[in-house]
Structure 1
Amino acid sequence: MIHKAPPCNEDVLRQVAAGDQRAFRQLFNLYHHKLGSYIYNITKSRELAEEVVQDVFLKIWNNKATLPEIINFDSYLFVISKNHALNSLKTIAARQTATTYLEQVTEEMLPADYQEENERYLLVDEAIDRLPQQQKLVYLMSRHERLQYAEIADRMSLSKETVKKYLQISTESISSYIRKRLTISIILFISNLF
């Protein structure tokens, strides 16, 4: 596909190379629409095309000292834009593939997806068994016996605030233990794939 962008004036390139922002704006205005259309045809994404055009012009500004060395600015501009667009598409595709893969692995590793429902309970039981004795008793009385804070406090000779705090700490400890175990399982599963 041949691009009929207006030829870039060498004086404009020299001015940009010298740091003239007005000349740079002129250069941008001269090319950004045609370049945006060209990149859109590659990416099929308006947002990505705009991002690529901005990135390319930022690169031109950052490397402005090399502009006088460029023999055919039009070709240079469209080649670096195409390369940047293709690299952006590759990056997006790689991220999407990795995200999809991790979502699938995570779904497979969640307790709800285990083959046997008992495995869920075993993990929770392991977490409860790791609690300090008093927290464990408070947790079991609250969750299994369905006792109120006041009832637990009376049975254990504790204040209601202490019971509440023990229950909070034990719940956080159980959740943390389960998360860690799932994370370790996922990491081991992924490492075994590679």
Structure 2
Amino acid sequence: MDSIPSGEGLIARMIEGDESAFTSIYRQYHPALYTYLLRICKIPSLAEDLVHDVFLKVWEIRHRINPALPFTGYLYRIARNHAFKTLKKLAYDEVLQEKVLEHLQFQGNGPEQMVNEKEYNRLFQEALGRLTPQRLHVFRLCRQEGKSYDEAAAILGISRNAVKKHMVLSMRAIHNYIYRQGLVITLLYLAQKIF
């Protein structure tokens, strides 16, 4: 029985459409490629998905592979580019964002830790600018001027409960804005580390 050749012979067989050669290549490169992608994205399930995507891409474009050139460099270049595109996509994909947020929270290294004080202040001001005029007024009275809910209610001519509700919604909106924007900054930071 013929043994499966390694190196150029195995690559050449894959290029010709030999699925057993492709399977052998997958098994050979999977562990190291998974480790490489895990260092980039930090999420085991995402790294595994990226590995599968990369090998699927290799299979789809196998006819363009030159078996005389180092396959490892080719494979890692595809992996790096795919990981970078995925990280950029994360900024707009809420399901993927949740995976990243869960992972970063689990490690105690959330976006807040990766955003410096100057950037945090900028994001805070942007978040304030997104509040409704009434919420912004309540927030400034209670948080920035130190007024009690009762005092703010008297100044604004609304109930204490209305003030409390505005404060809760303001704090939630500010936190969510900073957290999401911090996540985007984190993703861009991770993407830059690829190169």
Q: TM-score, normalised by structure 2?
A: 0.45
For the pair shown, the structure with the greater C-alpha radius of gyration is 1
Normalising by structure 1, report the TM-score: 0.45
